[in-house]
Every structure is written in C-alpha cells, then in structure tokens.
Amino acid sequence: MATNTVDVLVAGGGGFIGGHLVSDLLKQGLSVRSVDVKPQAEWYQVHGDAQNVVADLSLLENAMAATDGARQVYMLAADMGGMGFIENNKALCMLTVLTSTHMLQAAKHHDVERYFYSSSACVYAADKQTNPDITALKESDAYPAMPEDGYGWEKLFTERMCRHYSEDFGLITRVARYHNVYGPEGTWDGGREKAPAAVCRKIATAAITGKHEIEIWGDGEQTRSFMYIDDCVRGSQMILHGDSGEPVNLGSSELVSINQLVDIVEGIAGIRCVRKYKLDAPQGVRGRNSDNTQIMATYGWEPSISLADGLAETYAWVYDQVKLSQG
C-alpha cells in the first residue's frame, strides 16, 4: 500500500456515509485516502480524486499502512446494517472491535492530529427504550451500560477505548453517536438496509407494479428519529474539529413512528397501500430519539433538513434503483 501524506483518511470510505463524506472533503480541496474492505466494484461511491484502497483494516498491518501519512482520521469502518442484520449477526458486529482497536493503535503510532469515531445510538441502555413515547436519549443514558447486544456493546467499548487513548496517550479523539442516518446512494435492499430505505423500496415497488400493499416489521408503532446524510456529514466534521472530547448525539430530534414514516413516503409517492404487519420480524427497541441539548449547547447545532424533505430526495433515488432492477 502506497504511503504518502494526505489530509484525511476515511476508514470505511466505500460505505454509505463514507462515500458522502469523501465527496464533501474533496469538494473542500482536501486530499483524501478512502479505504474499505469491499471490492471497489461494491463501493457505494468511488471518487477518482481520492486515493482509493481496498484493505481489511481488522489486520493491524493494514491499519498501520492505511494510517501512515494521514493528518486526520474518520473511523467509520464497521460490519453493520439495519435491524434485521444487527439482530442476526451479533458475533460479526462485535468482531469490528478488531478494526476499531487496530485503527486506534495505528493513529497513535503515526501521531494522527485528530481522530473521529462514529459510534451509534445502539449504545444506549435498553431499559430506557421500552416505550414508543420515548423520552429523548441524552448522552448520560448510556450508563449504567446495557446497550444492544453485539453491535451496541462493540460501539460502547470503542468509545471507552477512544477516551483512554486520549487520557493515556494524548490522542485527540472525538466521538459522535449517530442516530439512523439515511439518504441516497445507500443500501436499499438485500437485508442490510435501514427503515427509511426499506420503506422507500416497498412503496416504490408498489407504485411501479400497481400492487398497493406492503409488509411492515412489527406493529408500526415503534418510534425513531432519522437524520439526512448531508446533516450527518456536516455534523461529523464539526465534531472532529470541535473542542469537546465527550461523546455527543448526532441525530434529529424529530420523532416518528414507522407507520408515520410510511405515511410520509406514501404522500411523496402519491399512493396508499394496504399494510401487512409482520409481528415476529426484528424491530429493535420500542422507541428511540435523540436529545440534542448537548450538541446545541456545545456547537449551537441542529439538523437543517426535515424528514419530509430528506425522504423526498431518498425516495426519488430509491425509485430509480427499483425501476432499474426490474429492467
């Protein structure tokens, strides 16, 4: 692997969020090394102006080589997906700890200036998420610890690793807890897609085929908040360059049920569908929302793109993918 100085390394740059982040960083005139384990043909976006490297960062030698010469690191690499994947692949999700640990070791070794870690709302204690009318989750609600099994435990463990690397070695780390990021150029089928993309696909399929019925996992009353990708990209950069070393929520506080999410997408598509509820499907916690008090106090920041506007962009893109897939 070639090692030369770059402004930014994006680990997981072939993923959904990583691809959008690399695009934005390049637009700012920064030099970017984008690294992902997937074959390049499977990357969500490939940017010709970046150094695009296929490498398994769970191996220490690859993490060392990828980080060599990078001033800043965005650590987004993880084996993850929507709730269907997370609930059925707990060991795979936890094995991401190898990537997380080796990237921290590499960042320390190469004297990286700033290190960003993308954590998740899955770190929050499950007993605080049992009601659809959820009290928004504030950062302190991660403790006493009882995160989502597998994926959530790995994220919380790595948050602590970032904290101790800062305390013990002086590595400047910043941690954002992502809340349900969605948008175009993401996973929309195959089992790893999240609720907004899945709903957009189902409604688009109904619109294209004329068969106006869809399946909903659970009873549709489970609640979430969803953040559009552009807000995620801007917020991540803001947190990396900020002064706070504490984990901070990065998400929308606009709470909706899955049924309401379907309502919005149906309105965008101009159709109504018969809903069939699959009550034995994976559905995660009963309710989850982002308390944005800390990020407002620290950065004066709130997501700028409403769910309706973001879903309109996402639905248009997913519709085109569904249309193409059907020939």
Q: What residues are labeled active site?
A: 151
Q: How far apart are CA 255 and CA 224, in angstroms?
A: 6
Residue 212 to residue 195: CA distance in whole angstroms: 19
CA angle 80, 81, 87 (to 5 degrees): 85
Q: What DSSP letter does each residue of 22-79 carry, written as one string? A: HHHHHHTT--EEEEESS-GGG-S---TTSEEEE--TTSHHHHHHHHTTEEEEEE----
Within 13 Å and on the Cβ side, how many CA atoms surround 85? 18
Instruction: Determine which helix (DSSP H) or strand (DSSP E) holds 259, and give its type and residue range.
Output: helix 258-269
Radius of gyration of the chain measured on its C-alpha atoms: 19
Contact 162, 119 (CB under 8 A): no
